[in-house]
């Protein structure tokens, strides 16, 4: 019985994952090599052509998604790190309040949040309207339908996933290590770069995973805030499924995205594995 | 505490104060904290001077302000009032990285993301020491603390004692002019602790720098220190060599905190040949050397348990003597401890060496005489 306990503990979660993650993926993999249409039904022909078509027709959107994901993640790090740092070291007794504030947007639906951005940033909306009226901005200036709007929306929507892991990592840094570094002649900056930053890198590492993956697969921000030039792979997949009813190509796109993301993440983990980064920081 | 008396060795007054400029000087240092709106004084006006090359201990019970005092020397904390000087220069307000002292933390505070070598090299690198010199000095230092061959280990892959030595090496490799150690052996077991005490003492002699050592372990302070400041409640109660602290405690607190001590209270009956004589019940008396007392003064007097002799007959000669009843006898290996109740109710502890045989001199219930030399009891402030 004792030896079974660990297995019993993973059983509920394991079954959940099996039912709702593994089975759909297998199902999708099967669909991705089928042929046919909605009216006459799809048959399994092991047609890899769907993949060729998926990558051939939509590689622009794949690359754009990766680009947006990278840019969004980078900006999120730059915004989240100082925030997490401030909460962890200067937050004092109010830390949990600040953390709650970071999480507050999550109490509103993802789509609603993004749509409210659309209202705020509309060409003659509450923000740009007055600025144009007083002549600070040219009449044809716009934010919506631009790359900046999409990336901005991505960063806004996923920022908390970057803040939280970094905060947790910073929170765990023993303050005595900071004092030890200062005692050993490190300046404030030196203490940060040699001790605090390296010790918080696992948090940054986790934050990158938690934001890059969903950002790359996102479709809401591009749909609401972007224009035709900003279509991401998530939008393509959505269109294939819901508009074009081309399930096989949609499935092929999804699996390609998943495989590409996994490969990217593994490459990232290998290249920037915590141990490697720490070893470099130790000098 | 200026009059020198019999029983106070010359050794503890001779060692320190060689260099005219003290390595560390605290002047009227006060540290206040605001805790929930209330002002708490952690250190209440400490003035002391530590000589170059001295092994100086801050000894006292938990919460008496030892760490706070040390943190002000290191530069982690600024005194609310008073000044801190290092080697003659006022450093009050100077940050830690600009002070030529290093600290060994109680918890070691080794950098977990660096291996032993990198931990030890940290300070030298921050000071832009040439790489070749770093290599040489770190190597030498690791040899001194006997860690050669473990350079690539991470702190978590080391035993407690090894981590402690890395912490020591990491501080010493910078050749600071003073090393501050905050209960550096606190986390070690007794055997390792004793081994490290000897080791620390050896290293201090080898490198010849000032050590300021914080401990709440009195035997540790007594064996290692040139001088000890006994702190209580934010103040220094006594500052002297180990022998004097033990033999001539200045206050009841020091007497009670360092080793076991008996406290007797009595009124001076007469002053006889430079000795105050206190009358005890049943014909007993206590002789207190020193002429500062007059008849009628009420005195508190200490005497250490091992200075007392037990006998069946009333001892003769110029000695302190007290009659009492043995209540308890405990055999403790090298010595036997007796609890003796005096007629006025005071319990006196007596240690008798088991030098020749282990047979006890007295049994519970026996009526006995206790005696000791006049120079073994002192009147103390309270
Ligand atoms: N940052 C602080 N804020 C408020 N009070 C403090 C602070 N640091 C120390 N104190 C208080 O000051 C007093 C002295 O603390 P300190 O740490 O110097 O004691 P210590 O002698 O080192 O004790 P220990 O042997 O337990 O380490 C304690 O009463 C403590 O509660
Ligand atoms: Mg302490």
CB B235 within 8 A of CB B45: yes
Identify which ligand lies nearest to the alpha carbon of B68.
1
Best of B30, B35, B40, B229 for a ligand 1 pocket test (most atoms within 8 Å of beta carbon): B40
Which among B181, B185, B220, B187 has a CA at the least distance from the CA of B204?
B181
Q: Would you call A283 and B125 a contact, using CB atoms and an 8 Å cutoff? A: yes
Cα B214 to ligand 2 centroid, rounded to whole Å? 8
Q: Would you call B112 and A183 a contact, using CB atoms and an 8 Å cutoff? A: no
**Alpha carbons A86 and A166: distance in angstroms, whole number:** 11
Say what the ipTM of the complex is. 0.80
Q: Is it the case that residue B16 has pLDDT exceeding 70?
A: no
Chain A touched by B126 (CB under 8 Å): yes
What pLDDT, on a 0 to 100 scale, did the predictor assign at position B14? 45
**Edge-to-edge, what's the strand order for the sheet holding B101-104?**
B101-104, B178-182, B210-215, B55-59, B227-232, B235-240
Structural domains of chain A, count: 1
Q: Would you call A179 and B76 a contact, using CB atoms and an 8 Å cutoff? A: yes
Q: Which residues of chain A have pLDDT under 50?
A: none
HSE-up of residue A269 (Cα within 13 Å, Cβ side): 10
What pLDDT, on a 0 to 100 scale, did the predictor assign at position B11? 43
Look at ligand 1, atom 14, and give the residue with the nearest C-alpha. B65
Helix (H, G, I), strand (E, B) or coil at A211: helix
| Chain B residue with Cα closest to A193 | B126
Chain B touched by A275 (CB under 8 Å): no
Q: Is the CB of B66 under 6 A from ligand 1?
A: yes
Q: What is the pLDDT of residues B336-363, one digit of tens each?
A: 999 999 988 889 999 988 877 656 678 8
What pLDDT, on a 0 to 100 scale, did the predictor assign at position B161? 85
Which residue in A180, A181, A193, A274 has the most chain B C-beta atoms within 10 A of its own C-beta, making it the best mutation to test that interface? A180
Min Cα distance B126 → chain A (Å) is: 6
B261-379 fold: OB fold (Dihydrolipoamide Acetyltransferase, E2P) (2.40.50)
In a domain, A282, yes or no: yes
Note whether B10-100+176-256 and B261-379 share their fold: no
| Chain A residue with Cα closest to B96 | A183
* Structure-model confidence comparison of residues B184 and B213, the more confident one: B213
Closest ligand 1 atom number to CA of residue B34: 4
Min Cα distance A199 → chain B (Å) is: 7
Residue B283 CB neighbours (<10 A)? 12
Residue A214 structural domain: 94-283
In a domain, A142, yes or no: yes
Residues of A in contact with B110 (CB under 8 A): 180
Of A236-240, B228-232, B297-301, least confident by mean pLDDT is: B297-301
The residue ranges of every structural domain in chain B are: 10-100+176-256, 261-379
What pLDDT, on a 0 to 100 scale, did the predictor assign at position A274? 58
Residue A53 CB neighbours (<10 A)? 16
The backbone torsions φ and ψ at residue B347, rounded to the nearest 5 degrees and listed phi first, read -95, 130
In a domain, A111, yes or no: yes
Q: Is it the case that residue B1 has pLDDT exceeding 60?
A: no
Q: Is it the case that residue B7 has pLDDT exceeding 70?
A: no
pTM of the prediction? 0.79
| Chain A residue with Cα closest to B73 | A183
Q: What is the pLDDT of residues B112-140, one digit of tens each?
A: 999 999 999 999 999 999 999 999 999 99
Look at ligand 1, atom 18, and give the residue with the nearest C-alpha. B65
Superfamily for domain range B10-100+176-256: P-loop containing nucleotide triphosphate hydrolases (3.40.50.300)
What pLDDT, on a 0 to 100 scale, did the predictor assign at position B13? 45
Q: What is the pLDDT of residues B150-184, one digit of tens each?
A: 999 999 999 988 998 899 999 989 989 899 999 98
**Alpha carbons B268 and B120: distance in angstroms, whole number:** 61
CB B151 within 8 A of CB B142: yes
Chain A touched by B118 (CB under 8 Å): yes
Helices A95-103, A49-90: crossing angle, 10 deg rounding: 150
CB B212 within 8 A of CB B178: yes
In a domain, A103, yes or no: yes
CB B324 within 8 A of CB B342: yes
In a domain, A150, yes or no: yes
Which residue in B111, B116, B124 has the most chain A C-beta atoms within 10 A of its own C-beta, making it the best mutation to test that interface? B111
Task: Tell me which residue in B95, B109, B125 faces A180 most closely, judged by beta carbons.
Answer: B109
Q: Is the CB of B65 under 6 A from ligand 1?
A: yes
Residue A20 CB neighbours (<10 A)? 9
- Here the CATH number for the domain that contains residue A161 is 1.10.3720.10
What pLDDT, on a 0 to 100 scale, did the predictor assign at position B359? 61
Using 50, 70 and 90 to split pLDDT, how confident is the model at B144?
A: confident
Cα angle vertex B111, ends B106, B116, to 5°? 100
Chain B touched by A197 (CB under 8 Å): no
CB B209 within 8 A of CB B185: no
In a domain, A179, yes or no: yes
Cα B67 to ligand 1 centroid, rounded to whole Å? 7
Q: What is the pLDDT of residues B32-90, one digit of tens each?
A: 999 888 999 999 999 999 999 999 999 999 999 999 999 999 999 999 999 999 999 99
Q: Is the CB of B232 under 6 A from ligand 1?
A: no
**Alpha carbons A271 and B217: distance in angstroms, whole number:** 50
Look at ligand 1, atom 6, and give the residue with the nearest C-alpha. B33
């Amino acid at each position: 019985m004792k030896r079974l306990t660990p297995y019993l503990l993973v059983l509920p979660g394991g079954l959940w994952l099996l039912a709702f993650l593994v089975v759909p993926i297998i199902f999708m993999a099967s669909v991705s090599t089928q042929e046919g249409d909605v009216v006459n039904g799809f048959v399994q022909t092991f047609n890899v052509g769907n993949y060729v078509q998926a990558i051939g027709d939509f590689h622009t959107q794949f690359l754009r998604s990766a680009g947006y994901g990278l840019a969004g993640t980078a900006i999120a790090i730059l915004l989240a790190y100082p925030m997490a740092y401030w909460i962890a070291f200067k937050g004092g007794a109010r830390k949990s309040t600040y953390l709650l504030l970071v999480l507050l947007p999550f109490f509103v639906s993802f789509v609603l949040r993004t749509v409210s951005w659309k209202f705020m940033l509309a060409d003659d909306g509450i923000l740009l309207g007055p600025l144009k009226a007083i002549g600070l901005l040219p009449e044809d200036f716009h934010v919506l339908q631009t790359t900046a709007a999409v990336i901005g929306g991505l960063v806004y929507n996923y920022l908390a996933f970057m803040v939280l892991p970094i905060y947790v990592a910073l929170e765990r840094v023993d303050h005595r290590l900071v004092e030890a570094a200062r005692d050993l002649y490190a300046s404030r900056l030196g203490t940060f770069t040699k001790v605090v930053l390296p010790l918080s890198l696992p948090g940054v590492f986790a934050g990158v995973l938690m934001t890059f993956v969903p950002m790359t697969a996102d479709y809401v921000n591009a749909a609401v805030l972007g224009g035709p030039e900003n279509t991401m792979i998530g939008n393509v997949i959505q269109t294939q499924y819901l508009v074009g009813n081309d399930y096989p190509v949609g499935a092929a796109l999804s699996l390609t995205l998943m495989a590409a993301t996994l490969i990217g993440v593994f490459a990232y983990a290998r290249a920037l594995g915590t141990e490697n980064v720490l070893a470099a920081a130790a000098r | 505490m200026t009059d020198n008396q019999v029983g106070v060795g010359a050794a503890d007054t001779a060692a320190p104060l060689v260099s005219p400029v003290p390595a560390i000087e605290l002047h009227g240092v006060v540290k206040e904290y605001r805790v929930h709106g209330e002002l708490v004084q952690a250190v209440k006006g400490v003035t002391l001077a530590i000589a170059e090359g001295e092994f100086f201990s801050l000894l006292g019970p938990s919460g008496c302000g030892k760490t706070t005092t040390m943190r002000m020397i290191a530069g982690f904390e600024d005194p609310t009032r008073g000044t801190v000087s290092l080697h003659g220069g006022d450093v009050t307000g100077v940050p830690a990285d600009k002070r030529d002292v290093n600290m060994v933390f109680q918890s070691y505070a080794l950098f977990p993301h660096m291996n032993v070598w990198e931990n030890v090299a940290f300070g030298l690198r921050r000071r832009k020491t040439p790489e070749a010199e770093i290599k040489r000095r770190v190597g030498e230092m690791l040899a001194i603390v006997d860690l050669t061959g473990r350079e690539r280990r991470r702190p978590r892959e080391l035993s407690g004692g090894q981590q402690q030595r890395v912490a020591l090496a990491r501080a010493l490799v910078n050749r600071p002019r003073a090393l501050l150690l905050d209960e550096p052996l606190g986390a070690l077991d007794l055997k390792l602790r004793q081994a490290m005490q000897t080791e620390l003492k050896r290293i201090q002699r080898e490198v010849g720098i000032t050590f300021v050592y914080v401990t709440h372990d009195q035997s540790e302070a007594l064996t290692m220190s040139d001088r000890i400041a006994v702190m209580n409640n934010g103040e220094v109660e006594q500052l002297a060599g180990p022998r004097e602290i033990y033999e001539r405690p200045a206050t009841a607190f020091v007497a009670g905190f360092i080793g076991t001590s008996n406290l007797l209270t009595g009124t001076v009956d007469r002053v006889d040949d430079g000795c105050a004589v206190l009358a005890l019940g049943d014909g007993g008396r206590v002789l207190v050397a020193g002429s500062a007392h007059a008849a009628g003064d009420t005195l508190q007097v200490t005497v250490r348990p091992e200075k007392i002799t037990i006998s069946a007959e009333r001892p003769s000669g110029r000695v302190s003597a007290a009659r009492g009843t043995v209540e308890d006898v405990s055999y403790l290996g090298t010595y036997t401890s007796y609890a003796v109740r005096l007629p006025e109710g005071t319990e006196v502890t007596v240690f008798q060496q088991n030098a020749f045989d282990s047979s006890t001199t007295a049994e519970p219930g026996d009526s006995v005489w206790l005696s000791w030399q006049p120079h073994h009891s002192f009147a103390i402030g309270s």
